[in-house]
Structure 1
């Protein structure tokens, strides 16, 4: 620990090999040294090293180079600078020198670094190079059986970033922002579809470990949400289009004017001279709001603190058997009185009881005459439904003015004709 400069970055007593975030990097230190060699120093030095190493690696049919071939190929470079770069690549084991044949060739670490850089450069011109590059890494790992959970997490992170960006565009309710987001979705659509196919193959693997399978499922869900954004964009644009203002019969809309003003930039400032003669001066704090806040702070807050939230003790529910028995007796008495009807009689004379409650209960029972569902039951209610009577009632009201009842529906109860 004392002889390792890396330990100076950590607190005393920390074992570097026990850190999960650092251990994979220490294990791949030899492969990472290739990138450290290539990218250490100024930008110009890094570009020259990459150029020379890529040119050496590009000759696949004859991968071994003699010093004379290198000087001839890089004749456009200063000889001293070329030798300095070659010695640096050789000393850091990106180039291997064969003493027997006196030739250079790229080392294993150098070839791996060049392959990774070639993949990165292949996506440098894409509008969303990050999503394409990461998808390519996941596809390559899945194809050769070296699927990386870290690569899957990077893909999931990028998809979530895009989803949040698209949702923010919809929330902005700006046609220009939504169209820009829609254009970006179109540019990444190819990679989302490619990623969907790859994730479908990955999740179908029964030998996949649990953490990798969970990340793959999360990627599939993120891709599904993104695929639905096309419909969301279109619905929002349709809603905005319905709110456009057409300027007379000129064929122009408010969107055309806004688009033109956006393209003018600072040049549009003189166009506004004299357009506004007065501007609103909003009062952000009025007396009403101040009074409401003061009332809460001085009164309601104190009441909430002093209020006791005590749950009352449990009580036995009241017995309701006597209510049901009383209703049953009313129903039986009413049934017996209906059985004596031989001629049409007014509704008021039949249902009027000692009080309003009895009258209302009798009227509700009278409405069950000839009801098929009630006839299928047992008890006094079913007996009333089966009585050979007919209720002829109208929307008009007949005056009563006694026993708590002012008016009642006009009508008659008639015996049902029998053949």
Structure 2
């Protein structure tokens, strides 16, 4: 006569046979049985301790090949927990390099897949970034999010990614990564900053500021203007501090960064003055408070108010639906009080090239930039020195392209207006 345990065992075997389902062992894939690869972590670890190093390596490789690129959050979380717990076991057992590499590769693959799922969350992404085992994997994570920036249209998500990029750069420095990994984090931040400026250009424009000149050395120029410019070039966000009396650029920063209401940047050099700046914008009052630190002077504190903001041209509604056909051609009007024509063409998708030629032929300015059909905004720059922002406003019968241009060399802003294409 069979015991109760024997009856249960026979019943389980019969059920498995009838339903064509196998009962997963501790080192088998458990998805069919329990919905995740590792059904019982304790049993799996106990079994890993019993088998030889070849079996441990094969197990990790099998799991990575099956689920390393999974998009199933439940499976990824399960393998993340499992690989985290298993990694010290592989070390304790003194496994050879390829076996240790197999468990690290499994965890790295899972971490990378987790980092690609869900919303952009700076805290989560930073924690996952720090868990990756080598700099190549960290570079891969930065590259992935860099490829996603163009498709992200929410300011909040982009700001989360700026914070992640900043944290990633610090983590890579602490871990001793090669300089190119840190640069990749900087490139990610810079790319996001340009996108943020396009989506929410509240920071971009011209500011009148005051400083405490008592801290300046005798041979040091002060400044009374600050310009923030999305350059449409490889310099990305450019911030310039200007002495308008002498029309002199005192400080200039390329690849500046925006995080929330804070703009910051730095210049490191072994031939010129090294310096860094940071300021915070009060969006309601359009005021800024900030400081510049340099090796040639004490800290320079400054404060001021925004005189001109690119955000102004984004206000209001277009009189009718626009496409690029509404800007490709020649617009007639005036720039800085000079009458002329603005010829606009495109030679690359989403990149617009333009030339303003005065009617007398004396003034010739070349631009490149972006067109935002939904908001009816045309944003063009000439190098890092001149920004022309126009929006189509008014009624359908009396619409006009109106806006302004501001100069980062002398800190001046002038009106611009052009008639729409007929």
* TM-score tier after normalising by the smaller chain length: under 0.3
> Which one has the bigger strand percentage?
2
Could you say which structure has the greater relative contact order, defined with CA pairs below 8 angstroms and 6 or more residues apart? 2
Q: Scaled by the length of structure 2, what TM-score is found?
A: 0.25
